[in-house]
Structure 1
């Protein structure tokens, strides 16, 4: 099976570094690039063709929720996982109405979480 190609979208360097470390430590996942805001993420998705986008909710300019809506409007790949420092309940009901495949609190993001979320996304795609 081919590696899962991942795009990390976050304006904060510490999380980009942490996400890169998790991806490098998790067999079967490969980091293909970064974007720093919602508008740039749309271009990166077109150019890099990732399988999975880790999308921060709070981004400068176009936020991660709007960027996710636009990515998912195509109906095809990539899968989008929203990430934030906030608890899911603090972000409101709009969160998964964006078309996102999942939400992960940044504090919970590690190799086990990544594998679990990807497995859930793949399982739902096969249903």
Structure 2
């Protein structure tokens, strides 16, 4: 069974490119959002296993959206992986505060990287919290 994923980024060209890159094998991209409002609606209705959220969403905060999705506000709950074009120095502290499962630069983005960040549920207690 494929892992369902939503991607949130304010760049529509990136969204389409990421969908093509990630939609393969064990990862199924089920939705794309360019704003926090679109993301909350999609996550609430599609209930993906993971949501990839760009740290910088134009005039909106990807970090605030990550916290909102992790908390399950407005019925929209998802595991979150933060993404960004750059691995900026201050992002490490902000990432820790966000509660996100992982952080990937957009150049690192691949189906394998996303799946590797997720906890495994294979019955092995050593893998139960993998990625957390």
Query: Do both share a fold (TM > 0.5)?
Result: yes
Aligned-residue CA RMSD (Å): 2.7
Tell me if structure 2 keeps the 8 A contact 1:53–1:79. Answer: yes
Higher helix share: 1
Give the corresponding residue for 2:83. Answer: 83
Tell me if structure 2 keeps the 8 A contact 1:37–1:63. Answer: no
Give the corresponding residue for 2:3. Answer: 4
Tell me if structure 1 keeps the 8 A contact 2:9–2:53. Answer: yes
Residues 89 and 120 (structure 1), Cα distance of their counterparts in 2 relative to 1, 3 Å cut: farther
| 1:98-109 matched pairs, under 5 angstroms | 98-109=98-109
- Residue 124 (str. 1) matches residue 125 (str. 2): no
Secondary structure of the residue that 1:93 maps to in structure 2?
helix
How far the C-alpha of 1:19 sits from its partner, in A, is 1.4
Residues 64 and 108 (structure 1), Cα distance of their counterparts in 2 relative to 1, 3 Å cut: same
Aligned length: 125
Give the corresponding residue for 1:40. Answer: 38
Structure 1 alignment gaps of length 5 or more: none
How far the C-alpha of 1:18 sits from its partner, in A, is 2.3
Q: Using the alignment, how far apart are the partners of 1:102 and 1:126 within structure 2?
A: 7
Give the corresponding residue for 2:63. Answer: 65
Give the corresponding residue for 1:30. Answer: 28
Give the corresponding residue for 1:19. Answer: 18
Q: Using the alignment, how far apart are the partners of 2:118 and 2:97 within structure 1?
A: 19
How far the C-alpha of 1:5 sits from its partner, in A, is 0.6
How far the C-alpha of 1:40 sits from its partner, in A, is 2.0
Scaled by the length of structure 1, the TM-score of the pair is 0.83
